[in-house]
Amino acid sequence: MRQRNSSMEGPDGSQLFEDTSGAGPRTQSGYRNQQTEPQQAGFAGQSLLSDPMSNLAMAYGSSLASQGKEMVDKNLDRFIPISKLKYYFAVDTVYVGKKLGLLVFPYMHNNWEVSYQQDTPVAPRFDVNAPDLYIPAMSFITYVLVAGVALGTQNRFSPELLGVQASSALVWLIMEVLAVLLSLYLVTVNTDLTTIDLLAFSGYKYVGMIVGLVAGLLFGRPAYYLSLLWCCAAIFVFTIRTLRLKLLSEAAAEGKLVRGTRNQLRMYLTMSIAAAQPIFMYWLTYHLIR
């Protein structure tokens, strides 16, 4: 036994193998320490979130965000009146049908005055005489699509040419509205017409342009001329009867035309705006039918 024990010990009296019988509890205790560290970190995070200073900082940050949103909305509404745009898109199917019929057959319509409720015009879906932006916007998009079909039937379609067609129509529309605004400023007309109203009235001509293009694509060039002539006369009558009450509000209030240089200028301006609609209708469609 002494020899065996002496053989297992080194020459310096140390053991050849390390005794690991006591390593198990130490390993388990280390593992337990590792488990408790995340828990302690979680408790520390919870205590940090429950800190009154952190809650105050979060409340201050949310108040800053709400103030920034209000500032952005106020500045955006200054340049783009979102609240007013909602009024011009307050339409329904019945209104759209009646308005399209009025744009194509305005001759039998008698009452052209816009209805008011507490000094505020009613929504377009309740009054067919109220201007809207839904029909002009949809008509412009439809006009671009029909123009693409017309170019395709002539083997002239290309994305670049369609883009030129759409951009040119939009530029002419903007120039028309700017010219009317400048004319109103020079004539010094006191009217409740806004830029959006002028944009709506100028955009109604796309309905007649679509009718003319579709008739030309289906039945040829003579049908295009006949239908476009009818729609040009209709939009001329519609524009005069609509803008007459807007530009000649003083005379309309008295029930008769007030003679004077200023009222004559207003009448000439109304006639010029109405006469410009058929010109634009022909200019933007004649090259699409061959």
**Residue 100 has which token pair?**
């399209």
- The pLDDT value recorded for residue 277 is 96
Mean pLDDT of the chain, nearest integer: 79
264: three-class secondary structure by DSSP:
helix
Residues forming beta bridges with residue 121, ordered by sequence position: 116
- Report pLDDT digits (tens) over 160-171: 999 999 999 999
| Domain coordinates in residue numbering, the chain | 133-286
- Report pLDDT digits (tens) over 160-211: 999 999 999 999 999 999 999 998 888 877 777 888 999 999 999 999 999 9
Over pLDDT 70: what percentage of the chain? 67
> Helix-strand-coil percent breakdown of the chain, rounded to 5?
75, 0, 25
**Residue 264 has which token pair?**
């004559």
Give kind and range of the element (H or E) at residue 47: helix 23-49
pLDDT at residue 18 is higher than 60: no
114: three-class secondary structure by DSSP:
coil
- The pLDDT value recorded for residue 254 is 44
**Residue 173 has which token pair?**
């529309």
What's the rounded Cα separation, in Å, for the pair 59 and 54?
A: 9
pLDDT at residue 11 is higher than 50: no
Is residue 136 a contact partner of residue 204, using CB atoms and an 8 Å limit? yes
Residues forming beta bridges with residue 134, ordered by sequence position: none
121: three-class secondary structure by DSSP:
strand
18: three-class secondary structure by DSSP:
coil
**Greater model confidence, 121 or 58:** 121
